[in-house]
Chains A and B, each alone.
Chain A
């Protein structure tokens, strides 16, 4: 095996790193852009149901 990063090695490294960084940026940007949604009460007095 080559002692240096081959073209395919570089491609795998860049593909993996960029893919993961891209997914992280997509997810956390969406989350941080949203309004803070602190849950104030664990289970409010009224029913914690949608219906």
Chain B
């Protein structure tokens, strides 16, 4: 911890950074698929209810607690929750705010590298050739299966993975202001321009009304299904990057007197623009026009990867300037993903810098070694199910758990009244009192209900690996084993990593006397640590 802690250069910079963290692949691929599958326009009812009662309030909670922790020079989950709660357990609970995003980074950076690779193949014309030959699925399969090679015999997926991995660390090497903020000031306008180009192109396709009709005509009968409400709430987590720990870290670099209320709302609204207006218009309506409504369920069932990497190149391939549109699509997603991937890496960097007291170079090196090892597990274990497993823990369970924990801490431990004052400190607008009630009762109870519903319906199935054939054999680095064995080994590795992280937290707190320093700051005995 030191007084030369990095900070955002401008207010618009932090807004763009948080919006960049939120705007990712989910906006352009996950949202339209969910909306199309769960009631079209009617999906927007639970979606917007979740936005008002869960998304925005939880974003305010994270911004408030993050800025509060940054006041004490803490920028990661353990330090921030410890500063807010002042109980020994809080720092261990906060470890989820480091482990969760890091876990997402392990596999997300590999998926991100596919987008860079496909941007490249859009430019070289090889993707268009695959479209013309009707072999896009094979092309994609060969690519992620490390069969496509570059420069003689280097697997292309591995080559683009190394470039993407290094690019993330290179950006973070420049710090918050000169790295993250600069990237987002460049990338967000690029995403907006490319998104608008594709948006206008889609709206000028003959027959697009059929696509918009499928996407927006409401099917009210679906609103009686609890699943629709669960999916809409879940989408809110993914889309706003809440419960991950990234906003917590980003907000810790905001000054105490600077507005967080309007900044948070602005970042959320920018994300909604990218998701509902751009994301909701591009993918599914285009797929409807090209493939017809009868085939859309089959296309949606291919999942986000199938839709993004197989279907969209084919759709763009049927249009004039196809290579340019394909390139625009993949580079748009690449930038959207890059601004998200650095945001899930930064909490770990902040942990090593702020809590462990490392220099940035040391923090990057430590996070780099851990990430490289685990990302290679994702690269070589893709077909064995490593990415899905990491996504379940990092991108689903820990995220909802951490979000629930944050909401409870804010409402019932830190105190809504105190939190309300903290949220409004330096604010340029004031919230209606309705949101005080929402923050105190609705958001934490909503999240508890969501978590409970999920634990009751799905948890045991996923934990016990129901649906996976126990005789199914997979290959990992030349070793053949049952897929269930591979997943249990991976779970053991992830658990060991979490335990090691908590051991490090215990050691750091003793060595750096962090609790004593917090008390000294409160007592005014020291001005910085």
A contact set with B: CB distance below 8 Å: 1-6, 8-10, 12-13, 16-17, 19-21, 23-24, 27-28, 30-32, 34, 36-39, 41-43, 46-51
**Nearest-neighbor residue (CB-CB) of B207 within chain A:** A3
Per the bound structure, the CA–CA distance linking A49 and B363 in Å amounts to 27
B contact set with A: CB distance below 8 Å: 3-12, 15, 40-42, 44, 48, 71, 177, 209-210, 212-214, 216-219, 253, 255-258, 262-263, 265-266, 269-270, 272-273, 276-277, 280, 293, 425, 428-429, 524, 527-528
Contacts of A3 in B (CB 8 A): 209-210, 213, 293
Contacts of A32 in B (CB 8 A): 12
- Decide: B10 and A24 in contact? CB cutoff 8 A: no
- Which of A30, A43, A47 neighbours the largest number of chain B CB atoms within 10 Å of its CB? A43
Which 9 pairs across A and B sit closest by C-beta, in order of nearness? A12-B41, A42-B7, A9-B217, A27-B266, A47-B527, A23-B269, A9-B216, A13-B216, A5-B213
Per the bound structure, the CA–CA distance linking A16 and B249 in Å amounts to 31
Contacts of B219 in A (CB 8 A): 1
Per the bound structure, the CA–CA distance linking A24 and B41 in Å amounts to 21
A–B pairs, 22, beta carbons within 8 Å: A1-B213, A1-B219, A1-B293, A3-B209, A5-B212, A5-B216, A5-B217, A6-B217, A8-B217, A12-B44, A16-B44, A16-B277, A24-B266, A27-B262, A27-B266, A31-B263, A36-B10, A39-B255, A42-B7, A42-B253, A49-B256, A49-B527
Per the bound structure, the CA–CA distance linking A21 and B196 in Å amounts to 14
Per the bound structure, the CA–CA distance linking A7 and B274 in Å amounts to 24
Per the bound structure, the CA–CA distance linking A19 and B44 in Å amounts to 12
- Decide: B44 and A31 in contact? CB cutoff 8 A: no
Known A-B contacts A3-B210, A28-B266; the reply to A23 vs B4 at CB < 8 A is no
A-B contact count (CB 8 A): 121
Known A-B contacts A2-B213, A38-B9; the reply to A30 vs B257 at CB < 8 A is no
Contacts of A43 in B (CB 8 A): 3-5, 7, 528
Per the bound structure, the CA–CA distance linking A2 and B527 in Å amounts to 66
Q: How far is the CB of A50 from chain B (nearest CB, A)?
A: 6
Per the bound structure, the CA–CA distance linking A49 and B213 in Å amounts to 54
Give the contacting residue for B209; candidates A4, A28, A37, A46; CB below 8 A. A4
Known A-B contacts A1-B219, A27-B265, A42-B4; the reply to A13 vs B12 at CB < 8 A is no
Contacts of B6 in A (CB 8 A): 42
